[in-house]
Amino acid sequence: MQYTLAGRTGTETSAETTVKHSRFIATLRRVHTEQEAREFVDEQRRTYPDARHHCWAFVVGDEQVNRLERSSDDGEPGGTAGVPILQMLTGRDLVNVVAVVTRYFGGIKLGAGGLVRAYSGAVGAVVDAATLTGRSRLELFTLGIDHADAGRVEAELRGRGVVVVDTSYAEWVVFTLAARDSTELADQVAAVTAGRGALDPAGSMWVDA
């Protein structure tokens, strides 16, 4: 299962670690788009304008095929900050998050290996401090019902725990329904419509588990 920060888009958590007098302030925020992730990086630069580095990585997108992953070392030696941050996010199966690690240099060089461990540790600390929630994929289906029966059908479906995502009105009333188990949904629709209701696939959506 994949996870994200519990709460709405914009929810964030911070944690601070110290390695050989260098301060590493890691902040994790829930985001929905690449633009939101990059705006948060800029926000952290403004919050800590005197810091030497603001290294970051983000993972945006629930579907693997459309997922976007980016990272930056922000002046640290190549591969010592951004990639380790990203690897910590993907290693924890996190999606729709951006992590920014702000470093205040403490006067002692850490070396490439030390930097990798420091940035990885900073992200590990903030993830451990965060409240996470799982993400679940729901299948979507449309169901067309005549106007005379629509109110009763909707009430009975909701009473059975069926998620009604949307309702549109035209020649028919069309419900968009979401379910983790399509077979169970089909059985519920059949029971409510006396076998006359037909489900048509309509894609999928992701929700917090």
Tell me, what's the pLDDT at 160? 94
21-64: pLDDT as tens digits: 999 999 999 999 999 999 999 999 999 999 999 999 999 999 99
Tell me, what's the pLDDT at 29? 98
Residue 105, phi then psi, degrees to nearest 5: -65, 135
The C-alpha atoms of residue 30 and residue 183 are separated, in whole angstroms, by 33
The C-alpha atoms of residue 49 and residue 46 are separated, in whole angstroms, by 5
Tell me, what's the pLDDT at 183? 95
pTM of the model: 0.87
Q: Which domains does the chain have, with CATH numbers?
A: 2-130 (3.30.230.30), 136-208 (3.30.70.240)
10-residue stretch averages of pLDDT, the chain, 209 residues long = 95 97 98 98 98 97 95 97 98 98 96 98 98 96 96 96 95 96 95 94 94
